[in-house]
């Protein structure tokens, strides 16, 4: 059994779910090192029951100040990990920097689970909502993202091994950072995400994800606006994060388009399951989503999925078999929504649902991560000798 130092700085969401599910299924022993924001604490205390010890540091201040103080805390955590004589450090992303600086300071062998690269630095035109509303073409934005990109390159270089969610993400990481990744895809808990075989009689389509622009909820609003009003369903968005200005813009777009939009925050997993089960379908419009955990959860609940034919969605869905893949423009999304609506609430076939749940499991994700950590330790021992 390995002694593993676990570090992450994540808010709630799909990435945080992965940390929780993979860790509590591991055969190794964990000590959790974390940074907690006063106004946005890390993921729930569920993880606390799966680790032997928790070491916490608190990060104060607004975003600008965090850019200065967080690197100091990362160095402290790296020193604490090294002092603990752990076999390996398993590092997950940081919601401020994306790739944690712990990787550059720790001397303990490290595995970095990277769902994606820092998109603001390496993806043209990407602009997340958490940053000030800079035009991506301005010098301020370019300088900031350039500096953060240099920081990420250094951290990727220092990691002993890289894990990621999908072949799509592995290809992007190889292209941007020249590193080979081990694909350890997320899973879905079929005992939690369930359905009773009934039809999808809901009057709304569902989207799950933060309100940042990359999720493209606005494209779904535009798609729904093109559907005749008597048949036009409501859009329900389950979101755990998002700036108020993005919310205002989305709601204003919906008002102008005469599309009903409901936003649900701070929703428990069991509430999310009930929302899936009552939805007519789930729509996934993000064009470069690393994996798309939402697609698995929706299908496990028997709810049809319409997703854009881009990114990690293509590795989960086979169009016409377990979902519907469409082009990312609003007219194609609208056609996909109408096609599913024309099925009169037909649920995902139970055999299809069961096949997906058995193929994509958290047990397998955890097993792959355990193996990668073990191989990393063995390789470091051989190299040291």
Q: Tell me the domain boundaries of the chain.
A: 3-187+361-384, 204-359
Q: What is the pLDDT of residue 140?
A: 77
Average pLDDT over residues 111-126: 88
Instruction: Check for a shared fold between 3-187+361-384 and 204-359.
Output: yes
Q: What is the pLDDT of residue 124?
A: 77
Can you name the CATH fold of 204-359?
A: Rossmann fold (3.40.50)
Average pLDDT over residues 22-39: 85
Q: What is the pLDDT of residue 64?
A: 63
Question: Alpha helices, DSSP H only, in the chain?
Answer: 14-24, 63-83, 102-105, 119-122, 139-158, 167-177, 217-225, 244-257, 269-278, 293-300, 313-316, 330-341, 350-359, 362-384
Better pLDDT: 133 or 114: 114
Average pLDDT over residues 37-55: 65
The top-scoring range by mean pLDDT among 14-18, 82-86, 132-136, 287-291 is 82-86
Average pLDDT over residues 324-331: 96
pLDDT band of 377, cuts 50, 70, 90:
very high
Average pLDDT over residues 116-122: 89
Better pLDDT: 105 or 136: 105
Write out the H or E segment, with its range, that includes residue 35.
Answer: strand 29-37
CATH superfamily for domain 3-187+361-384 = Glycogen Phosphorylase B; (3.40.50.2000)
> pTM for this structure?
0.89
pLDDT at 131 over 70: no
Average pLDDT over residues 57-74: 77
Q: What is the pLDDT of residue 38?
A: 58
Better pLDDT: 178 or 231: 178
Length of the chain: 385
Q: What is the pLDDT of residue 204?
A: 93
State the pairing for strand pair 305-308/281-284: parallel
Query: What share of the chain has pLDDT > 70, as a percent?
Result: 89
């Amino acid at each position: 059994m390995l002694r593993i130092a676990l570090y992450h700085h994540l808010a709630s969401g799909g990435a945080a779910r992965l940390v929780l599910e993979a860790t509590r299924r591991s055969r190794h022993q964990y000590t959790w090192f974390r940074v907690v924001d006063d106004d946005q604490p890390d993921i729930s205390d569920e993880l606390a029951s799966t680790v032997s010890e928790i070491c916490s540091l608190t990060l104060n201040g607004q975003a600008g100040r965090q850019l200065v103080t967080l690197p100091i805390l990362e160095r402290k955590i790296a020193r604490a990990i090294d002092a603990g004589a752990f076999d390996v450090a398993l590092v997950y992303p940081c919601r401020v920097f994306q790739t944690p600086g712990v990787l550059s300071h720790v001397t303990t062998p490290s595995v970095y689970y990277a769902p994606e690269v820092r998109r603001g630095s390496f993806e043209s035109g990407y602009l997340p909502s958490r940053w000030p509303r800079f035009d991506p073409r301005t010098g301020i934005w370019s300088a900031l993202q350039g500096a953060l990109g240099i920081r990420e390159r250094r951290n990727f270089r220092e990691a002993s091994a890289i894990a990621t969610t999908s072949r799509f993400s592995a290809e992007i990481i190889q292209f941007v950072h020249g590193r080979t990744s081990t694909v350890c895809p997320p899973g879905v808990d079929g005992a939690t995400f369930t359905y009773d075989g009934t039809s999808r009689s809901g009057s709304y389509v569902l989207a799950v994800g933060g309100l940042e622009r990359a999720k493209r909820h606005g494209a779904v609003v535009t798609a729904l606006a093109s559907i005749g009003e008597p048949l036009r369903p409501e859009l329900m968005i389950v979101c755990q994060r998002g700036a108020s200005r993005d919310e205002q813009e989305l709601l204003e777009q919906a008002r102008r388009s005469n599309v009903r939009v409901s936003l649900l925050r701070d929703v428990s997993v069991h509430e999310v399951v009930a929302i899936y089960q009552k939805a007519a379908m789930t729509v996934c419009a993000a064009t470069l989503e690393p994996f798309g955990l939402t697609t698995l959860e929706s299908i496990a609940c028997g709810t049809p999925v319409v997703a854009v034919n881009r990114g990690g969605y293509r590795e989960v869905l086979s169009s016409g078999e377990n979902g519907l893949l469409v082009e990312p423009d609003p007219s194609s999304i609208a056609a996909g929504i109408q096609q599913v609506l024309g099925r009169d609430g037909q649920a995902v076939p139970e055999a299809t649902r069961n096949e997906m749940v058995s193929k994509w499991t958290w047990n397998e994700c955890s097993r792959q991560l355990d193996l990668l950590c073990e191989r990393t330790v063995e390789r470091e021992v051989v190299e040291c000798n």
